[in-house]
Amino acid sequence: LNRRTPYVMVGTSIVSAVDAGPSPRTCVNGTLMKNALGAYHPPVLTLVDRALFSTLAPEHLRHGAAEIVKMAAVDDEALFTLLQRHGRALLDTRFATTGDDPDLAAVADEVLFRSLHAYMRLE
C-alpha cells in the first residue's frame, strides 16, 4: 500500500536500536509464521538515544548486550575488547544512563556506534 513512505526508526531498547533500527526489513508476523509479511525498505534515519535505555528491565539490557556481542564476535575485535573491559559497568548503569561518568558515557556511545556500523556493513 505505502511501501515507499519515508520513516524514521527510534530505538527504544538496545535490541531495537542496534538490530531492528537500521534494518531494511519491515515485517509483521503472519498466522503461522514469524516475519511472514513485509518489505525491504530502510528507514531514512535511525535515532538512538541512550536515555531511553534508563528504564529497561535487566533482561532487556542483556538481550541488547547479546546482540552487540554477536556483532563484535563476527565483525569487530575492538568492540569485543570494549565489551570485555566495560560490559559489566555498561549493564550496571543501563549503558551509562545512571550516575555521572562521562568516560563510561563515551564508551557506551562508542559501543553503540561500532555495533550499528558492524550491522550496516554486514546487512
Number of domains in the chain: 1
E strand or H helix at 75, and its extent?
A: helix 58-75
Q: Is residue 72 part of a domain?
A: yes
Give this prediction's pTM.
0.84
Question: Which residue from 57, 55, 51, 81 is spatially nearest to 69, judged by alpha carbons?
Answer: 81
Return the higher-pLDDT residue of 82 and 122.
82
The pLDDT of residue 92 is 96
CB atoms within 10 A of CB 1: 3
* CATH number where 74 lies: 1.20.1090.10
Instruction: List pLDDT tens digits, range 29-80.
Output: 778 887 777 777 788 888 999 999 999 999 999 999 999 999 999 999 999 9
pLDDT digits (tens, 9 = 90+) for 68-94: 999 999 999 999 999 999 999 999 999
Taking each helix axis from N to C end, the angle separating 102-122 and 77-92, rounded to the nearest 10 degrees, works out to: 130
Look at residue 52 in the predicted model and tell me its pLDDT: 95
Considering the domain boundaries, does residue 3 fall inside one?
Answer: no
Residue 64 CA to residue 25 CA, distance in Å, equals 19
Residue 25: what residue type?
R
Structural domain of residue 62, as residue ranges? 8-122
